[in-house]
Chains A and B, each alone.
Chain A
Amino acid sequence: MSTNFAEANSISRATIEIHEPRQKTIESKTGGGDAIEGKSIRANIPSGDLADKWQNFKDHAGLVSPANRKKLRVIVVGTGLAGASLAATLGEMGYQVLSFCFQDSPRRAHSVAAQGGVNACKNYKNDGDSIYRMFYDTIKGGDFRAREANVYRLAECSQLLIDQAVAQGVPFAREYSGYLNNRSFGGVQVSRTFYARGQTGQQLLLGAYQALMRQVNAGTVKLYAQHEMLDLVTIDGKAAGIIARNLLTGEIERHAAHVVVLATGGYGKIYYLSTLAMGCNASAIWRAHKKGAFMASTSWIQFHPTSLPQLGEHQSKLTLMSESLRNDGRIWVPKKQNDSRAPNDIPENERDYYLERRYPSFGNLAPRDISSRAAKERIDAGYGVGPQKNAVYLDFSHAIKAQGKKKIAEKYGNLFDMYRKITGIDAYEQPMMISPSAHFTMGGLWIDYDLMTTIPGLFAAGEANFADHGANRLGANSLLQACVDGYFIAPYTIANYLSNKIKTELPSTSHQAFVEAEANVKSQLDLFVKIRGDKTAEMFHKELGRLLYNYCGLSRNREGLKTAIKKIRDLKDEFYARLMIPEEATTLNVELEKAGRVADYFEIGELMCYDALTREESCGAHFREEYQTPEGEAVRDDDEFRFISAWEWNNGQAPILHKESLEFESVKLAERSYK
């Protein structure tokens, strides 16, 4: 029944439509880069009014009957919010699911670290919230560089997510009456953020993890913890499985499936110093990219404005303080350059509350890209504070005076505790010091409306894909997107894809494609081990991170990006000459794991620079110094750059750029002002 239904309704979306083929080298008006221009691509967005598209899709999507689901196998890589929620949901539906994570338990995936909250337009506060308003805030927050239909669907499904999480036992903050509580986040003027103290990500992930473990117990999901995906296997151009390395034994394994989903998170760790976990990496999506999946908007990376500043040379990580602190904290620097007085000795009239000054209507709740850039501007101009002069103050004294210490402790107590543990400073007594840090990748694998990549049968969910946040993500939308992709969207679109494949045999792992992929993985690992040089993978990672921070970080310019591409290539050559891995590939080998990830980071870093170089405008997190107003605000160019850059791997040569034009039917493109 399912096959006929799907065919009859012909919404099988296995291929992307390709239009106006043309091949030329992009010689942009300024002679920007040497990327090659490919074909334009389309996202298979359903017809109908914006508000009806998702319902139309669901009403007509192909289904797989319960009896047939158990014959179909899905591999889900990653067990963060997107991966765990999807694997649990597919397991409940009755598919055979293989769930992979590199961590020792699925519960440890990095969604666990998200603090502040998750957005949903429930309008519990009666402050005028609605699906449309949330959609508009997200589109505007992303600087009009996201797909309308995807963003509308995100807002639409947000209401369901809160219901789902409460049913699972997520202990969201409550009013004394027992009703759910909300707070505000940056970039919006309503209270739509649900939270569980400062550990919303952890509690949502535990909900998804518990649902996943319930399916492990039921036998529908098989768990492969401490396994890392090292290649995607394709047969006849379709996803057929993965090659994974058992990190405990070094064994290389072949796993076949009808569908492969990458829910492997973002690659902000490419800068080395970031808010991400040490193990976060891009190898799964990058290796899929090298097998034909396009990468989109690769250089759009968000720097979080409220991270702790770097203190020393050996620092491995920049801890994030939740953006929710900006609800009550006021950000300032001294009005005098190189002011070395203690913060409490600087009188009120000698403080520059620069966000309130520059963006009076949003003030300290200006969106992340704008807040981070404003901090960098002050720091670079010599107004930074702290021992390294690389921070700004986040001050709670006014809020404590107005609301009392108890109220502030209740809202942010664990964050203040965390701050004291790391810095030894009591933030109830003196302001916190904060600084921007690499955080979230809006870029990722290009996907169509169904979350399917350019490889049929390969889907990407959560931060691993690019779609919903445009050029800048709003706070508390990342947990939302991960959950919505996993619980509510991919289960439908994957069923639709599988609905005409119920007679398709599971690919054989002895197929030549698996044999070759495994051989390639093994030879790469052997290559790393045999170099026997004198530098660790992490040393290279740190150098690459510094390069990217300087040339492709909070701001970029043409000459810097060109320099960076050359320097990254040189560093990569050095890596292949001087890498040292003391142990063999056939054992637990942490240095080998790191080497593989860093090797991929060189290539992604290069693509980031191409992406930033060819986009000759400023939008969201992508700030090209050449394109700004005299006041330092971003200047978008909607005539030339109202498209998504989707990049095709070109065997190490200059990458090929495909354009997905963004059509805005429901919103009017406007200057993104928070003044």
Chain B
Amino acid sequence: MKLKLNIWRQESATAKGAFKTYTLENLEKDMSFLEMLDVLNEQLVTKGERPVVFDHDCREGICGTCGVMINGRAHGPIGGITTCQLHLRSFNDGDEITVEPFRASTFPIIKDLKINRSAFDRIISAGGYISASTGSAPEANSILITHDVAESAFDSAACIGCGACVATCKNGSAALFTSAKISHLAKLPQGRAEARIRVVKMVEQMDKEGFGHCTNTEACEAECPMGVSVLNIAQMNWEYNKALLLGA
């Protein structure tokens, strides 16, 4: 198949960027979207031109590294997948596709489609953990967690930190990312002890990074490749208000 790509090219964080158009022919429908970018880069590099820089690593939808806006949608036209899981069979021969980096002031562009998401690490660092020191811990089965609670905690813990929620949100809010970790740990008995301190510190850090507020449009959930629910945001708000009222 043949595709026309409008790709955002930007030399560095401070340089001015612009769209550049490339036409690729003889593509196979079973190729992944990122393998198509590999083909483009091979053509560019063998001609001595600078390749398109994009984030990627595991190429199986679990590391959370990849992520671009494809025709205005985070991770492309199919729901519930990351960019690396998108295949060309989701497009038609002759399509024109616009490829941009995730857009958010908190995710500055590094080069072309590659962005800086270190704000997420700082939110986790502020309190996204259970302060259990390593090396010794009580017998695992001494903490009973019912099947349903464990499954629910897993649903929250499934976040891969890709940032599609932020890129999709009109406010650039990181509420879904932050709340997923808060809920994951707050749902588990071993995480309850620090629940109040945790939520306050993480929300403070989220605000400090400059992420916008959540106005409940739920666009984040619709674009989340892992299907993380906005109910996590409700739990975050509940935990946060409780902490403010009762003291962290």
- Residues of A in contact with B (beta carbons under 8 Å apart): 85, 88-89, 92, 103-108, 110, 112-113, 122, 124, 160, 162-169, 171-180, 196-197, 199, 202-203, 206, 209-211, 213-214, 216-217, 223, 225, 248, 277-279, 311-317, 319-320, 417-418, 421-422, 424, 487-488, 491, 532, 534-536, 538-539, 580-583, 588, 590-591
Per-position binary interface string of chain B over residues 109-122, scored 1 when its CB falls under 8 Å from any chain A CB and 0 otherwise: 01100101110110
- A278-B110 contact, Cβ under 8 Å, with A108-B64, A171-B154, A591-B51: no
Interface residues of B in 38-68 (CB under 8 A from A): 38-39, 41-42, 44-46, 48-51, 53, 55-65
Residues of A contacting B114 in the complex (Cβ-Cβ under 8 angstroms): 588
B42 in contact with A539 (CB, 8 Å): yes
Q: Which of A108, A167, A277, A279 contacts B130 (CB 8 A)?
A: A167
- A216-B125 contact, Cβ under 8 Å, with A178-B146, A582-B50: yes
> Is B215's CB within 8 Å of the partner chain A?
no
Residues of B contacting A164 in the complex (Cβ-Cβ under 8 angstroms): 132, 134-135, 137
- A163-B31 contact, Cβ under 8 Å, with A113-B63, A277-B57: no
Residues of A contacting B80 in the complex (Cβ-Cβ under 8 angstroms): 417, 421
A202 in contact with B62 (CB, 8 Å): yes
> Is B157's CB within 8 Å of the partner chain A?
yes
A307 to chain B, nearest CB (A): 10
B134 in contact with A214 (CB, 8 Å): no
Give Cα A211 to B160, complex, Å. Answer: 17
B131 in contact with A214 (CB, 8 Å): yes
> Is B8's CB within 8 Å of the partner chain A?
no
B135 in contact with A199 (CB, 8 Å): no
Residues of A contacting B63 in the complex (Cβ-Cβ under 8 angstroms): 103, 108, 110, 112-113, 277
Residues of B contacting A160 in the complex (Cβ-Cβ under 8 angstroms): 136-137
B125 in contact with A213 (CB, 8 Å): yes
B48 in contact with A217 (CB, 8 Å): no
Residues of A contacting B158 in the complex (Cβ-Cβ under 8 angstroms): 199, 202
B135 in contact with A316 (CB, 8 Å): no
B78 to chain A, nearest CB (A): 8
B59 in contact with A278 (CB, 8 Å): yes
B45 in contact with A591 (CB, 8 Å): yes
Residues of B contacting A580 in the complex (Cβ-Cβ under 8 angstroms): 45-46, 48
A564 to chain B, nearest CB (A): 25
Residues of B contacting A539 in the complex (Cβ-Cβ under 8 angstroms): 42
Residues of B contacting A316 in the complex (Cβ-Cβ under 8 angstroms): 32, 34-35, 38, 59
> Looking across the interface, which residue of chain A has its beta carbon closest to that of B28?
A312
Give Cα A174 to B89, complex, Å. Answer: 38
A167 in contact with B55 (CB, 8 Å): no
How many residues of B are in contact with the other chain, CB < 8 A? 80
- A209-B135 contact, Cβ under 8 Å, with A171-B188, A277-B63, A539-B42: no
- Residues of B in contact with A (beta carbons under 8 Å apart): 28, 30-32, 34-35, 38-39, 41-42, 44-46, 48-51, 53, 55-65, 78, 80-81, 85, 87, 89, 110-111, 114, 116-118, 120-121, 124-141, 143-147, 149-151, 153-154, 157-158, 160-161, 184-185, 188, 190-191
B46 in contact with A421 (CB, 8 Å): no
B129 in contact with A107 (CB, 8 Å): no
A536 in contact with B45 (CB, 8 Å): yes
Residues of A contacting B53 in the complex (Cβ-Cβ under 8 angstroms): 588, 590
Residues of B contacting A203 in the complex (Cβ-Cβ under 8 angstroms): 154, 157
B46 in contact with A588 (CB, 8 Å): no
A174 in contact with B134 (CB, 8 Å): no
B56 in contact with A421 (CB, 8 Å): no
B135 in contact with A167 (CB, 8 Å): no
A196 in contact with B154 (CB, 8 Å): yes
B120 to chain A, nearest CB (A): 7
A163 in contact with B139 (CB, 8 Å): yes
A169 in contact with B135 (CB, 8 Å): no
- A167-B137 contact, Cβ under 8 Å, with A110-B58, A317-B60: yes
Give Cα A532 to B49, complex, Å. Answer: 11
- A418-B61 contact, Cβ under 8 Å, with A105-B117, A580-B48: yes
- A210-B87 contact, Cβ under 8 Å, with A225-B118, A320-B60: no
A107 in contact with B134 (CB, 8 Å): no
Residues of B contacting A92 in the complex (Cβ-Cβ under 8 angstroms): 133-135
Given A169-B130, A203-B157, A536-B45, 10 more pairs with CB closer than 8 A = A104-B65, A112-B64, A178-B146, A202-B62, A248-B110, A279-B57, A421-B78, A421-B80, A491-B135, A580-B46
Give Cα A216 to B190, complex, Å. Answer: 22
- A214-B154 contact, Cβ under 8 Å, with A113-B63, A163-B137, A491-B135: no
Residues of B contacting A113 in the complex (Cβ-Cβ under 8 angstroms): 58, 60, 62-63
B64 to chain A, nearest CB (A): 6
B35 in contact with A180 (CB, 8 Å): no
Residues of A contacting B42 in the complex (Cβ-Cβ under 8 angstroms): 536, 538-539
Residues of A contacting B185 in the complex (Cβ-Cβ under 8 angstroms): 169
Residues of A contacting B133 in the complex (Cβ-Cβ under 8 angstroms): 92
Q: Which of A107, A162, A225, A248 contacts B140 (CB 8 A)?
A: A162
